[in-house]
């Protein structure tokens, strides 16, 4: 039986989960996959943490040189997170002839173009199923199950923290601040929640997923990004009244050589399967020209689901004699013949607070009409005193037209504030 030695770099939450699976399900994997996978080394700065998890002392190392020199190590799992030193270590491992399995979405999103050529030159593999959507096998599905299709659309709820917060706001009527605090207390959100709530995490993942789905480099810098920090309890309530729930969606589209990639809060119709993805669960919805719609749903984070994705990559890698690389040649910048749409089309939810008097609604709708934004629903609610909130749902309109209209509306003396502008699915 083939024997494969693995090293794990970084025994934090996900690295620990990976270690638990490789040891706990070692015999099961050996019996069902025909490969005997051993954890030979664990690299970490913190010796006590490693020994405390039950790793034998002989397996511990804090020296990357030792790993690089160890000819017996076939596959290295990187679960350190962050760009450095993960990047330097991964390049070193690839150059030492070891395949690498990583869960590092930021690193892959930013430096995939630099890592893949090193892997290719050394004839080893670079695998990162765990970098996107935890235990959900979205990358394997894109690469090994969608080959017959041109994928034209991809919608993802791919950040567990924001989905937890938005679900809490929807189901318990919490404010954003209260829901965030609760997510932090439960360990779903970091003390500094920026990476999640401002959409960076989803942006990195969308860059990886849409590159694979559309067979072209989608740099994260070409992705429109907006987080959930401005979503109010009032937005959530309005959404519900109109038959929607608010989700932070990552959206990718390709039509011929035009690519659209964006991350922002989105009104999702309640009867859409993505609307039912609650709490820390994640899902990705894909449309291919032949397969039509498919959705993959599961746990988007956590030691065990993410560890499951890592070990799946380890097994997948261990059983191969040769490795594959992107067909399009991942690059630092987008391919010159690809046009990235900045003026995309969408339906919109708009909320303004305006004087509660005759003629004001006419002035607002006139501007929308002049900008080519057609309205499908207006709701004027009872206000307090002289101002009243008014909400609009628009038909599909151009982003720039909507922004121009909002600028003009904002200048109306009778409009106190523009409260929300949220795109709709």
Q: Catalytic site residues?
A: 205
Of 144 and 339, CB closest to a second copy: 144
Order of strands across the sheet with 75-78?
Answer: 60-61, 35-43, 2-9, 75-78, 99-102, 126-127
**Range list of H helices, 215-351:** 233-241, 303-318
By CB atoms closer than 10 A (0-12, 13-18, 19+), residue 335 is: middle
In a 10 Å sphere around its CB, with 0-12 CB exposed, 13-18 middle and 19+ buried, how is residue 1 labelled?
Answer: exposed
Residue choice 38, 47, 140, 347 for contact with a second copy (CB under 8 A):
140
# chain residues binding a second copy, by CB under 8 A: 55
Cβ closer to a second copy: 248 or 309? Answer: 309
150 near a second copy (CB under 8 A) = yes
Instruction: Supply the minimum distance, in Å, between the C-beta of residue 21 and a second copy.
Output: 5
- Which residues inside 238-297 make contact with a second copy, applying CB under 8 A? 271, 273, 276-277, 288-297
Whichever of 202 and 309 has its CB closer to a second copy, that residue is 309
From candidates 10, 227, 252, 307, binder to a second copy by CB under 8 A: 307
- Binding map of a second copy across residues 365-404, x = CB under 8 A, - = no contact: ----------------------------------------
Binding-residue pattern over the window 325 to 344 for a second copy, x denoting contact by CB under 8 A: --xx----------------
- Residue written as tokens 């090293």? 7
137 in contact with a second copy (CB under 8 A): yes
Q: Does 215 bind a second copy (CB under 8 A)?
A: yes
Burial class (CB in 10 A: 0-12, 13-18, 19+), 327: exposed
**What's the closest the beta carbon of residue 314 comes to a second copy, in angstroms?**
8
Interface residue with a second copy, options 10, 17, 252, 265 (CB under 8 A): 17
Which residues are 269's β-sheet partners? 244
Shortest Å distance, C-beta 295 to a second copy: 4
User: Which CB, 127 or 348, lies closer to a second copy?
Assistant: 127
Give the H/E segment covering residue 209: helix 200-214
What is the smallest separation between the CB atom of 169 and a second copy, expressed in angstroms? Answer: 18
277/273 Cα distance (integer angstroms) = 7
Could you tell me which stretch among 144-152, 187-195, 222-230, 352-360 binds a second copy (CB under 8 A)?
Answer: 144-152
Among 158, 305, 388, 424, binds a second copy (CB under 8 A): 305
CA distance 31 to 54: 24
Scan for tokens 């779903």, then name that residue: 188
Identify whether 85 is preceded by a cis peptide bond (ω within 30 of 0): yes
Residue among 29, 43, 55, 166 that touches a second copy (CB under 8 A)? 29
CA distance 221 to 10: 28
> Is residue 409 classed as helix, strand or coil in its secondary structure?
helix
Write down the H helix ranges in 283-398. Answer: 303-318, 360-370
Residue 206 vs 310, nearer CB to a second copy: 310
Nearer to a second copy, 34 or 52 (CB): 34
Q: What is the helix (H) or strand (E) element at residue 285, kind and residue range?
A: strand 281-288
Under the criterion CB under 8 A, does residue 311 sit at the interface with a second copy? yes
Task: Give the C-alpha separation, 343 to 326, whole Å.
Answer: 29
**How near is the Cβ of 61 to a second copy at its closest, in Å?**
24
CA–CA separation, 234 vs 232, rounded Å? 5
Nearer Cβ to a second copy (190/293): 293
- Phi, psi angle pair for 53, to nearest 5°: -90, 5
Q: For residues 162 and 193, what is the distance between their CA atoms, to the nearest angstrom?
A: 10
* Residue 136 engages a second copy in binding (rule: CB under 8 A): yes
Give residues in contact with a second copy (CB under 8 A).
17, 21, 25, 28-29, 31-34, 129, 135-137, 140-141, 144-150, 215, 271, 273, 276-277, 288-299, 302, 304-305, 307-312, 315-316, 319, 321, 324, 327-328
């Amino acid at each position: 039986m083939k024997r494969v030695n693995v090293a794990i770099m970084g025994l934090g939450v996900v690295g620990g989960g990976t270690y638990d699976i490789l040891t706990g399900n070692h015999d099961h994997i050996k019996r069902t996959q025909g490969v005997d996978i051993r954890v030979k080394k664990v690299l970490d700065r913190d010796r006590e943490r490693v020994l405390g998890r039950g790793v034998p002392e002989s397996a511990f190392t804090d020296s990357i040189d030792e790993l690089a020199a160890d000819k017996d190590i076939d596959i290295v799992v990187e679960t350190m997170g962050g760009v450095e030193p993960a990047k330097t270590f991964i390049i070193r491992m690839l150059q030492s002839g070891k395949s690498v399995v990583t869960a590092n979405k930021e690193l892959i999103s930013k430096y995939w173009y630099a890592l893949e050529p090193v892997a290719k030159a050394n004839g080893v593999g670079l695998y990162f199923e765990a970098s996107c959507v935890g235990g959900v096998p979205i990358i394997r599905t894109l690469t090994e199950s969608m080959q017959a299709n041109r994928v034209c659309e991809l919608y993802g709820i791919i950040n567990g923290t924001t989905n937890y917060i938005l679900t809490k706001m929807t189901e318990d009527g919490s404010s954003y601040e209260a829901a965030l605090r609760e997510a932090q207390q439960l360990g779903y959100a970091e003390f500094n929640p920026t990476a999640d709530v401002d959409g960076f995490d989803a942006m990195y993942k969308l860059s990886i997923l849409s590159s694979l789905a559309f067979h072209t480099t989608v740099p994260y810098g070409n992705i429109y990004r907006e987080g959930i920090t401005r979503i109010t309890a009032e937005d959530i309530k309005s959404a519900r009244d109109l038959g929607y729930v608010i989700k932070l969606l990552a959206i990718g589209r390709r039509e011929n050589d035009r690519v659209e990639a964006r991350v922002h809060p989105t009104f999702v119709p309640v009867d859409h399967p993505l609307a039912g993805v609650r709490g820390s669960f994640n899902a990705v919805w894909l449309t291919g020209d032949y397969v039509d719609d498919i959705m993959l749903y599961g746990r988007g984070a956590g030691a065990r689901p993410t560890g499951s994705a890592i070990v799946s990559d380890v097994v997948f890698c261990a059983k191969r004699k040769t490795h594959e690389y992107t067909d399009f040649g991942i690059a630092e910048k987008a391919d010159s013949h690809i046009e990235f749409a900045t003026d995309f089309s969408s339906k919109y939810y708009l909320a303004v607070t305006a004087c509660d008097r005759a003629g004001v609604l006419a002035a607002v709708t006139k501007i929308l009409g002049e900008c080519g934004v057609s309205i499908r629903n207006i709701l004027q609610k009872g206000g307090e005193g002289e101002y009243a909130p008014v909400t609009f749902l628009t038909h599909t309109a151009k982003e720039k037209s909507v922004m121009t209209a909002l600028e003009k509306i904002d200048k109306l003396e009778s409009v106190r504030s523009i409260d929300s502008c949220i795109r709709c699915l």
